[in-house]
Amino acid sequence: MTTEQTTRLWERLQPLLEQNARDKIADLIDGMTSREIVHTFVHLREEDQLKLLRLLPNDLAAEVLEEIPDSEAADIIEDLEAHEVVAILNEMPSDERVDLLAELGEEAEEIISKMEPETASDLRRMIEYHAETAGGLMITEFLSYAETTTISEVIEDLRTNAEEYQNYRIRYIYVIDAKGQFCGILQMQDLLLAEDDTRLEHIMHSDPFAVRYDATMDELVDFFDQNDFFGVPVVDERHFLMGVVLRRDVLEAQAEQAAQEHLESRGIVGGDEIRTMPVLLRSKRRLSWLSVNILLNIVAASVIAYHQDVLSSVIALAVFLPIISDMSGCSGNQAVAVSMRELSLGVVRPGEALRVWYQEVSVGVINGTVLGILIGIAAWIWKGNIILGGVVGAALAINTIVAVSIGGTVPLLLKKFNMDPALASGPILTTITDMFGFFLALTFASLTLTHISGL
């Protein structure tokens, strides 16, 4: 659809909601793409969003909630009755269900308690796992059979429970032994090509790959980089089968993590803000970062205040101070971006700060020298004073080396001490490069004041 047509979807939906036209609403939603669903839903008033979820069939309501951000979906379902939420959640894959319940916090238990006992038990266990581990990413919709089961028995079960299994992402069948421990895997083609009376233990791939429930995102990314699998089974300490992590879900989680880190590096605390959230909440999240940043900038500004006599004697420096600060900051942010990417890919570890520092200094010396020469020449041409050119050029060159050193190593050090590098690296880099750049330029100027005063 064109942008204009997409915009009209929520306008077309409004009168249908007023008429309680269930079938027409379902047809309209069912024909939308994921992006159109999100765009349409966020344009509705809160009461209409609730009305829409209540009028839609549960499977379509689940699809809508899966498409919008979890924090936004959680805010919406808080206003639904518990039994209504349960009916919708039952239509979701287990991993999506857990993500949404995790956003509800303590209120999630009321909903979980109204679900089937087995499902509730699985959810209580899964909700405890960190979102970026195998336990937090796994799905529990998978097929497992005892190793003594025959091919004909498996096929009979698939036919009998076809309706239940139709939404399973089936590529493999998992095999367990008499103790219930995971012992093998069977591809669907193996199942179809074997004789009916063949037992699974005779055709399964024994000693298969598996990951523990506490495997990290980095470990999962490494696994799928090395193995071209659709998914990987998740086991506990006793090697009991718990679930399956799909390659697709790992890639999605990795992309979401990168997007969140980007937002946090720009001061959006939590990294999940959208403009339909309450204004006061959005303001609070942004101010928590901006308030700290303004204090850090006051520290940097104090360096200028300390050297105000020098600045008043060399007015031309006022033009170059923001250039020195900005260019050094840009160089430092490039180093931050590379370190953040390498951390996410597992290319570098938090303990390798010294190696990273050496690699960044090598680049910083070259780039700093080139940038220093360029700004020095500009200052010389503008004011006809080579000493002024040397002052600003040297300040930018040295500050660039400082900036890339900080930008490259600070994310690793913060990660090592379990602090959020995406959120904290920016303010630290900005403050130090501003403060150090001002200090260098004004100090060099004070040392050569007799040659540049009055410019």
> CA-based Rg of the chain, rounded to a whole angstrom?
29
Note the pLDDT of residue 405.
94
Note the pLDDT of residue 60.
86
Q: If one looks up domain 279-452 in CATH, what number appears?
A: 1.10.357.20
Q: Looking at the chain, which residues constitute the CATH 1.25.60.10 domain(s)?
A: 3-132
Q: Looking at the chain, which residues constitute the CATH 1.10.357.20 domain(s)?
A: 279-452
Q: Which of 16-25, 142-151, 161-170, 360-369 has the lowest mean pLDDT?
A: 161-170
DSSP labels for 148-177? Answer: T-BHHHHHHHHHHTHHHHTTS--SEEEEE-
User: Which of 18, 14, 7, 20 lies closest to 44 in space, CA to CA?
Assistant: 14
Instruction: Read off the pLDDT of each residue in 207-213 and give the average, rounded to a whole number.
Output: 87
Under a CB-based contact definition with an 8 Å cutoff, are residues 325 and 438 in contact?
yes
Q: Categorise residue 412: left if φ over 0, alpha if ψ from -120 to 50, beta otherwise.
A: alpha
Residue 409: other Cβ atoms inside 10 A = 21
What confidence tier does 167 reach under pLDDT thresholds 50, 70, 90?
confident
d(CA 70, CA 106): 16
Instruction: Read off the pLDDT of each residue in 133-154 and give the average, rounded to a whole number.
Output: 91
- For β-strands 144-146 and 182-187, DSSP reports them as unpaired
Please return the burial class of 162, using the count of CB atoms within 10 Å of its CB with bins 0-12, 13-18 and 19+: exposed
Looking at the predicted structure, is the pLDDT value of residue 3 above 70? no
Partners of residue 206 on adjacent β-strands: 184
Task: Return the sign of the alpha-carbon dihedral for residues 370, 372, 378, 383.
Answer: negative
Q: Categorise residue 411: left if φ over 0, alpha if ψ from -120 to 50, beta otherwise.
A: alpha
d(CA 402, CA 391): 17
What DSSP element (H or E) covers 244? strand 241-246
Q: If one looks up domain 144-263 in CATH, what number appears?
A: 3.10.580.10
pLDDT digits (tens, 9 = 90+) for 406-454: 999 988 988 888 776 766 677 778 888 888 898 999 999 888 888 887 6
Note the pLDDT of residue 274.
58
Instruction: Read off the pLDDT of each residue in 118-128 and give the average, rounded to a whole number.
Output: 85
CATH top-level class for 3-132?
mainly alpha
pLDDT digits (tens, 9 = 90+) for 240-297: 999 999 998 888 887 777 666 665 555 555 555 555 566 776 677 667 666 767 777 7
Considering only residues 145 and 44, tell me which one the structure prediction assigns the higher pLDDT.
Answer: 145
Residue 204: other Cβ atoms inside 10 A = 20
* Chain center to CA of 289: 18
Q: Looking at the chain, which residues constitute the CATH 3.10.580.10 domain(s)?
A: 144-263
What integer best gives the mean pLDDT of the chain?
83
Considering only residues 9 and 386, tell me which one the structure prediction assigns the higher pLDDT.
Answer: 386
Q: Which two tokens stand for residue 71?
A: 């924090």
